[in-house]
Amino acid sequence: MSKDTVQDGLVVSMDYTLRVDGEVLDSSDDAGPLQFLAGYENIVPGLEREMIGMKIGESKDVVVAPEDGYGEFDEEGFMDVPRSELPSDLEIEEGLELSVTDEEGQNQYARVESVSDESVRLDFNHPLAGAELHFSVTVVALREPTKEELEHGHVHEEGHHH
């Protein structure tokens, strides 16, 4: 298999810009190229699928529908939590982003939707749920993953955590 195109099992370095509604939300300009291990769902599925077969130096604009991105907006994705269940030292206000642990011990992203005296309404929708994602990507480099990266299913970058 040739190593000069994006394919499952290779580590891809890419420069990218993400726009939603014409506004730049994220870009690799700050942190440098993003590395991901292709085929392991490290990035949104719709983008990964479109990048398969791209060559080093090749650029592409990819539009990712919500279902291939961060999911559709879920009207049911809200939960009312008694204030007493939240840490008392937490300054709770609308728009606050929390990481909440669910029954399975998985970390869930949640945003405070509204606050009353008794309870707090949490929105578990990803901030980009329901959004059409516009990516501009350029493949910068490709390499074989290390054995450890393959075992873990994601790239190990030196001192670089997302």
Query: Is pTM, for the whole model, over 0.85?
Result: no
Angle in degrees, CA 27, 150, 59, rounded to 5: 30
In angstroms, rounded to a whole number, what is the distance separating the alpha carbons of residues 32 and 48? Answer: 19
Contact 63, 134 (CB under 8 A): yes
pLDDT score for 161: 47
Give the model confidence (pLDDT) of 72-112 as tens digits. Answer: 999 999 999 998 888 888 888 999 998 888 788 888 889 99
For the segment 10-23, the average pLDDT, to the nearest whole number, is 97
pLDDT score for 162: 43
pLDDT score for 90: 82
Mean pLDDT of the chain: 91
Three-state secondary structure call for residue 53: coil
For the segment 38-66, the average pLDDT, to the nearest whole number, is 96
User: Who's near 13: CB < 8 A, 6+ residues apart?
Assistant: 33, 34, 35, 139, 140, 141, 142, 143
Domains of the chain: residue spans and CATH: 11-70+129-152 (3.10.50.40), 78-123 (2.40.10.330)
For the segment 100-125, the average pLDDT, to the nearest whole number, is 89
Strand ranges (DSSP E) for 75-132? 78-82, 97-101, 107-115, 119-123
Three-state secondary structure call for residue 46: helix
pLDDT score for 31: 87
Give the model confidence (pLDDT) of 135-148 as tens digits. Answer: 999 999 999 999 99
In angstroms, rounded to a whole number, what is the distance separating the alpha carbons of residues 53 and 49? Answer: 9
Compute CA 102 distance to the chain's CA centroid, rounded to the nearest angstrom: 19
Confidence band (pLDDT; 50, 70, 90) for 158?
low
User: Who's near 75: CB < 8 A, 6+ residues apart?
Assistant: none
58-61: Cβ within 8 A, 24+ apart: 58/138, 58/139, 59/136, 59/137, 59/138, 59/139, 60/136, 60/137, 60/138, 61/134, 61/135, 61/136, 61/137
pLDDT score for 160: 47
For the segment 119-145, the average pLDDT, to the nearest whole number, is 95
Q: What percent of the chain has pLDDT over 90?
A: 76
